[in-house]
Amino acid sequence: MLAATAERPFSSPDFLFEIKWDGVRAIAYVGDTLTLMSRNGRDFAAQFPELAELKELAPGTVLDGEIVVMRQKKPDMQSLLSRLQVQGGPVKDAPPVTYIVFDILERGGQPLIDQPYTVRREILRSAVREGPHVIISEPVETRGIEYYRAAIGQGLEGIMAKRKDSRYEPGVRSGAWLKVRAELTCDCIIAGYTRGQGGRSTTLGALLLALYDDGDAGNRGSPGTAHNLVYIGKVGSGFSEGDLVHFRELFALYPANTPTLPEVRGEGPVVWLRPELVCEIAYQQVTRNRRLRIPRFRRLRVDRRPEDCRTSQLEVHPVVAVAVQRTGAAGRTGRKKAIPPDRTRDDEGPGSDGTVPAERPAPGSRHGPPVMKPAKGHVPAPASPEPVSPEPALPRPPVPRPTERYREKRNFSVTPEPKGADTMTAPTFVIQEHHARHLHYDFRLERDGVLKSWAVPKGVPEAPGPKHLAVAVEDHPLDYATFEGTIPEGEYGAGTVSVWDTGTYATKHWDEKKIEVVLHGKRLSGHYVLVRLIRAGKNDWLIFRAGAG
């Protein structure tokens, strides 16, 4: 069973909420032998011998769960990938894995998939014991918004929302299960790549991405046929140096004799690949012509089948939050009232007076603060969230974009830089490495319809302590956040630009003298401060990372 994407965090007494773990999904067939089957049909049992304890802990069951490696209280996908790339079991000192069980599909030969989720949860707790490498995911009742904030605050990727009455539908992407993430992601087919320039001249510039179109059943081929493959854009950021070296070796094994996406034009010379490799891409939104906006490479997915990479992943399911039944100060019980999707309340969950929903917990779930139960030191527990000011992760209306100074400095018939485009739907930051006359880094924050921008000669500090000069420059258009390329000689800022880091951010404070934000990027995450140096000049600021935030 696959999850659809929720358009925003929500609370509802009809759902249970769980942590979304950043690992590899696997169905465990537990009998005299153990099979751990990934979504692309690969058996991981030999890869992770520590999970053989399932034969003692959950005999005669079929389970659904996630394999993760925990480091510093968070899932570490890179460590998990290192385990996946080793054949014949773990090497010495390899990080151990944990299997987090969240569903049961069969017990003692009896199928359970037609039972409601709450009933399956109750059976799961009686059928499975926990061990050093096996734990049971514990959902939280009703309070999805609060739980989401707690998860994101601890650096986790998001939560899952599952209808209490949902049956298990194998292979179906259903709105009964919803993933709620700080950023949207989808699994994409790598159709080819463009040649790199400048610092990437020996590797690649961008990956060309594709999905199988499962929109109109009357006009599409069977999944896995070339004429059914559609282009959804390219991604040129998010790669580590190790990724680029690995790609060069990997892509040599998948050459295509003909263009994989014949309809693609204007992307320059392309090296086409057979549509057999899958990667996970993070993005901010999907444009009207079905292109990923602000895409970022996250990782290769060796556990995904290309034929499962379909356009249905891009669908966003609206949610209708439900006001939680509360007991007033005089003892009266309030009525439940539906709230339209565009008026979802940020205070759902515990009331401002400290009251909690007056509803009986479903089997296998818990009321109370949204925390995950620690198990044998393997799995972190997001702490009960402190009161915070609402940071609505909702689309904002278009606003005028004051980028005239930016446009005045550029000749767009010569430079490949963007002129400007539609508004984005989430607060975004980007750090671009700019090899001009002198190497510097450009720090940009999306605000009021533009990218507020600073040139940082020494780069944005990665740890608390150093304070670096940041010179405010003209506002840039939003689509500059994905710009990578070479600005021609004679043009303003001539040189090579590449994305060093990108992600989303939350605002803690913003005025003309001081800006405080919390970054959620691939390289940088934490509390950052910009302070204006009033005596030095109106454009001079200091940027530094604050404490352990």
Query: Same domain for 282 and 209?
Result: yes
Distance CA 150, CA 235 (A): 30
Q: Is residue 376 part of a domain?
A: no
pLDDT at residue number 319: 60
Residue 153, number of CB atoms within 10 A of its CB: 15
CA 385 to chain centre: 21
Check: CB of residue 324 under 8 Å from CB of residue 348.
yes
Query: Same domain for 125 and 212?
Result: no
Query: Which of 291, 317, 343 is the last residue in one of the domains?
Result: 317
> What phi-psi label fits residue 262: left (phi over 0), alpha (psi between -120 and 50 degrees) or beta?
alpha
Nearest alpha-carbon partner for 186 in 284, 115, 88:
284
Global pTM reads 0.50
Number of domains in the chain: 3
Query: Which of 136, 163, 197 is the last residue in one of the domains?
Result: 136
Query: Same domain for 411 and 535?
Result: yes
Distance CA 105, CA 128 (A): 12
Residue 120: phi, psi to the nearest 5? -60, -35
Residue 334: phi, psi to the nearest 5? -75, 160
Distance CA 471, CA 543 (A): 10
Query: Same domain for 64 and 189?
Result: no
Q: Is residue 362 part of a domain?
A: no
Q: Is residue 7 part of a domain?
A: no
Query: Same domain for 540 and 412?
Result: yes
Residue type at 131?
G
Query: Which of 136, 169, 202 is the last residue in one of the domains?
Result: 136
pLDDT at residue number 33: 95
Residue 379, number of CB atoms within 10 A of its CB: 21
State the Cα angle at 159 between 146 and 3, rounded to 5°.
140
Residue 417, number of CB atoms within 10 A of its CB: 21
Query: Same domain for 193 and 93?
Result: no
**Cβ partners under 8 Å of residue 114, min gap 6:** 167, 168
Query: Same domain for 296 and 228?
Result: yes
Q: Is residue 371 part of a domain?
A: no
Distance CA 520, CA 445 (A): 12
Q: For the chain, how far is it from start to end, CA to CA, in angstroms?
A: 37
Query: Same domain for 208 and 276?
Result: yes
> Looking at residue 110, which CATH number applies to its domain?
3.30.470.30
**Which pLDDT tens digit goes with each residue over 368-414?**
333 444 334 344 444 443 333 333 333 333 333 445 565 566 665 55
**Which pLDDT tens digit goes with each residue over 120-138?**
999 999 999 999 999 999 9
Question: In this structure, what DSSP letter does residue 537 have?
Answer: -
**Cβ partners under 8 Å of residue 510, min gap 6:** 447, 516, 517
Query: Same domain for 411 and 288?
Result: no
Nearest alpha-carbon partner for 99 in 130, 72, 77, 124:
130
* Structural domain containing residue 263: 185-317
Q: Is residue 255 part of a domain?
A: yes
Q: What is the mean pLDDT for each group of 10 consecutive residues in the chain (549 residues)?
A: 88 94 93 92 90 96 95 81 71 84 96 96 96 94 90 84 94 88 87 84 89 62 60 90 88 93 83 95 82 88 89 75 37 33 33 31 39 40 39 33 55 59 61 89 90 94 92 88 84 87 89 91 90 81 82
Q: Is residue 329 part of a domain?
A: no
Query: Same domain for 430 and 541?
Result: yes
